[in-house]
Amino acid sequence: MAKKKNEKAEPASSFADSTSQLEGIIEVLENEETSLEDAMKAFEEGIRITREVQKMLQQAEQKVALLLEDDGEPVIADFDEAAGSE
């Protein structure tokens, strides 16, 4: 990995950045030449990023739910119906 041993990774700024970082971590983990120590560091970083992405997705889901509310009541609609109403 290109990071220094004591260097902490900064939180990803966007969903796209996070998924890109996860793809890079997957490549490191799939590389048979990666040492166990480096694989564990990459795995830990992947877990941290995955948790950040999960938070982003939960926030987006909550925002969508708020946007779909009608007079304070949630509106349940199929995804196709909700997308077609824009």
Is 52 within the bounds of a domain? yes
Whether 49 is covered by a domain: the verdict is yes
* Domain carrying residue 28: 15-84
Cα dist from 82 to 41, 42, 58, 74, whole Å: 41, 38, 18, 13
Q: Is residue 3 part of a domain?
A: no
> Does residue 4 fall inside a structural domain?
no
Of the pLDDT bands very low, low, confident and very high (cuts 50, 70, 90), residue 64 is confident
Q: How many domains does the chain have?
A: 1
The reply to whether 43 falls in a domain is: yes
Q: What is the pTM of this model?
A: 0.64
Q: Residue 8 falls within a domain, yes or no?
A: no
Q: What is the pLDDT of residue 67?
A: 81
CA 55 to chain centre: 8
Residue 4 has pLDDT above 50, yes or no: no
Q: Looking at residue 5, what is its pLDDT?
A: 45
Q: Does residue 2 fall inside a structural domain?
A: no
Q: How many CB atoms are located within 10 Å of the residue 68 CB? A: 14
